[in-house]
């Protein structure tokens, strides 16, 4: 797939989820029957959001791979941006931390997801949350606007990750920071796995190599980069056998290769 095809596959998948208006299982980016084609379900090992302050069941579509708000060091009064905000699940958790003196903005490139999030915030009655339509590799914001940027299982779906991370740097205030939960791989995934459109849209085959991901963050100029949590993601055997030869399959089984969810933070320099 080229970049345009990748974006189209992701947009169609998540717009379809929004149109369904049905919550998905809270442990997966891909937990509805047949959503991975013949592959079956892929457990993303996401933490249950039900225990989080501000949890909004209407906004929870079970699409995350972590809880970035737990490590994001958000404070009352902060201006926070959520990249790929979906129906607003993380934004409602953030709003419970920033309080009425802060402000929470979500951005998503699916019209259906943005409308669903706007419906949820109207229903909640909050006046310091807003949701915008846009691409996170070309955000419609001025420079130096936000204290914190968060994202949950989204950047791995963006073809141009360097541009997306540079955009995070641009919109953060000096001294501001990001905290991202994402899906990464230990090593370069085999071409057959990476070229599967459904697996790409389900957060798996688009997973960048962790060393490349960290290098991109460093090259963008972020400081104090820290990995807070890393959890293996289980890919069903029938998916692996469909895409991997015996040697590649053994690498996954032995732990030499594979994918995992990780929460990472970094800080924009003050000067």
Each residue's pLDDT, cut to its tens digit, for the chain (271 residues) gives 677 777 777 777 778 777 775 444 433 444 333 333 444 455 554 556 778 999 999 998 888 888 999 999 999 999 999 999 999 999 999 999 999 999 999 999 999 999 999 999 999 999 999 999 999 999 999 999 999 999 998 998 888 999 999 999 999 999 999 999 998 988 887 777 776 656 655 666 678 889 999 999 999 999 999 999 888 887 778 878 888 888 888 887 777 778 888 999 999 999 8
Which residues 6+ apart lie within 8 Å of 49 measured at CB?
26, 55, 60, 64, 67, 89, 93
For 72, phi and psi rounded to 5 degrees? -85, -5
In this structure, what is the dihedral angle of CA atoms 187, 188, 193, 198, given to the nearest 10 degrees?
A: 90
Domain 3-267 homologous superfamily, CATH: Vaccinia Virus protein VP39 (3.40.50.150)
Residue 21's pLDDT is 54
Catalogue the long-range contacts made by 14-22 (C-beta closer than 8 Å, 24 or more residues apart): 14/63, 14/86, 14/110, 14/113, 14/201, 15/110, 15/111, 15/112, 15/113, 17/61, 17/63, 18/61, 18/86, 18/87, 18/110, 18/112, 18/113, 18/115, 18/116, 19/112, 21/116
Question: Whole-model pTM above 0.85?
Answer: yes
Residue 202's pLDDT is 60
Maximal C-alpha separation, the chain: 57
Q: Give kind and range of the element (H or E) at residue 39.
A: none
Residue 120's pLDDT is 96
């Amino acid at each position: 797939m080229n970049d345009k095809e990748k974006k189209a596959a992701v947009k169609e998948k998540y717009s379809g989820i929004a149109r369904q208006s049905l919550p998905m299982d809270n442990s997966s980016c891909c937990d509805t029957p047949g959503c991975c084609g013949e592959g079956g379900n892929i457990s993303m090992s996401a933490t249950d959001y039900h225990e989080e302050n501000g949890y909004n069941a209407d906004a929870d579509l079970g699409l995350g791979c972590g809880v970035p708000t737990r490590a994001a060091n958000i404070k009352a009064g902060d201006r926070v941006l959520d990249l790929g905000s979906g129906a607003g699940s993380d934004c409602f958790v953030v709003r419970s931390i920033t309080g009425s003196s802060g402000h929470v903005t979500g951005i998503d490139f699916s019209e259906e997801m943005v409308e669903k999030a706007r419906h949820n915030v109207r229903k909640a009655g909050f006046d310091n949350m807003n949701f915008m339509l846009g691409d996170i590799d070309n955000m419609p914001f001025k420079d130096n606007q936000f204290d914190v940027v968060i994202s949950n299982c989204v950047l791995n779906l963006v073809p141009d990750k360097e541009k997306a991370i540079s955009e995070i740097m641009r919109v953060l205030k000096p001294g501001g920071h990001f905290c991202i939960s994402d899906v990464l791989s230990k090593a370069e995934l085999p071409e057959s796995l990476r070229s599967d459109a459904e697996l790409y849209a389900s957060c798996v085959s688009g997973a960048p190599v962790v060393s490349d991901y960290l290098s991109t963050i460093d090259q963008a100029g972020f400081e104090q980069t820290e990995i807070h949590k890393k959890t293996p993601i289980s890919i069903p055997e029938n998916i692996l056998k469909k895409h991997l030869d015996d040697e590649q399959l053994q690498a996954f089984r032995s732990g030499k290769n594979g994918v995992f969810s990780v929460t990472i933070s970094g800080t924009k320099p003050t000067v």
